[in-house]
Amino acid sequence: MADADRAHLAVGEQGLQRAVRLGGQVEAAREGLVLGVDGENLMGQAWAQVRPAQGMVDIAKAAREAGLALALLSNSFGLHPYNPYRELGIWDLFDVHVVSELEGLAKPDPAIYQLAWIGWG
């Protein structure tokens, strides 16, 4: 039996219709259904217990207090529906935010570093 068939049996037609109504999150919802978990905000669920490296947060706060501009440059997934940086309380520490998935670039491509540099103005 295919995973999609198992998901259909597990959640029924209403569950699959709900997944379709989620629009841009259809694939995430389907994955959640196949895994037997709520497909709503899978990244938020996955990151719920993650905490930032406190030493790095302390350095960023000290730099901010010293008047330095800061950039967040991350090879991360997008920010919707879950922004892990905001949820962890570090988003506002940075003047510039460059996230790989949103830019279509990733480290070590020099172009993504250029975007962060340009963002500083």
Profile the chain (121 residues) by mean pLDDT over runs of 10 residues. 44 49 52 64 76 90 95 84 85 93 90 90 72
pTM for the whole structure: 0.62
Instruction: Let me know: does 98 contact 74? Beta carbons within 8 Å.
Output: yes
Domains in the chain, CATH or no CATH each: 3-40 (no CATH), 54-120 (3.40.50.1000)
What pLDDT, on a 0 to 100 scale, did the predictor assign at position 24? 45
Question: Is the separation of the CB atoms in 18 and 7 below 8 Å?
Answer: no
Q: Report how far apart, in Å, the C-alpha atoms of 47 and of each of 44, 62, 77, 78 are.
A: 5, 26, 12, 13
pLDDT at 88: 85
